[in-house]
Amino acid sequence: MQAMAYQPYARNSSLCAIGSLPSDADMDIAMWNDKFLCLEGPELLRIEAGRGADDTDAGLLDSKFEQLQQYVKQWSGTYEGDRKGTGLTTPVLVRESRKAPSEFDGVVDRSGVRILFQSTNAGDRYKTSSEEKKDEKERSSGGGGAKKSPSYSGTKPFMSNARKEGGMEVLVEKTTGGNIRVRARRCNMDGKTVVKEMSEEVIVRSLKKAVEVWVGARATAGFNKD
């Protein structure tokens, strides 16, 4: 509980902790930070893509990191434009991630992409029943109880505020421990966002398969060490 109190990613989160640590477990602050990092988003996938700590050549580690960056960027291009054939049930936009490296996260370098879900049908014009009742009450208020027609100014259409539709951020990271990993986490969320589980599953499954192919190819070529 004391560790949770100092973790910013644990705030406003629901989680359950069970079991116990081995008596000889040596959990330093960096390891605790990494355990709680999965709450940011939350994290949906993590793949260790290279045991860089075993590589004595820093140039080799940087080369692997840059190659994986480009590979993930190329993979994300599958979801740009027409989503036909991607398996997604939701239209998306692909944008570059601007999430900076963080010593707190144990990351010295990172880059990635944001796959942002877009509205469908009514989209951001959709209103919940409570919002519709509130609008009706406002239109009905006024002198003598007579209903007033809504008046608008400017050129903006009458609609509720645009909502965040959710998305997935895919990050390629080089850690302070000298490893390379890929993480996928939810992004572009707020309290009213409806989770697009089917589209998330499609993206996670595709990313996992793609990164495993990349790791396997590098292992065959001798880039990864046991």
pLDDT, residue 6, reads 63
Residue ranges of the alpha helices (H) in 105-148? 129-140
The whole-model pTM stands at 0.71
Q: Which two tokens stand for residue 189?
A: 């969320």
Q: 223, 214, 217: which is closest to 71 by C-alpha?
A: 214
Mean pLDDT over all residues of the chain? Answer: 78
Query: pLDDT for 87-144, tens place per residue?
Result: 888 899 999 999 999 888 889 999 999 999 998 764 444 455 566 677 777 777 754 4
- Burial of 3: CB neighbours in 10 Å, binned 0-12, 13-18, 19+: middle
Residue 188 CA to residue 8 CA, distance in Å, equals 18
Token couple for 36: 């709680």
Answer yes or no: is pLDDT of 183 > 60.
yes
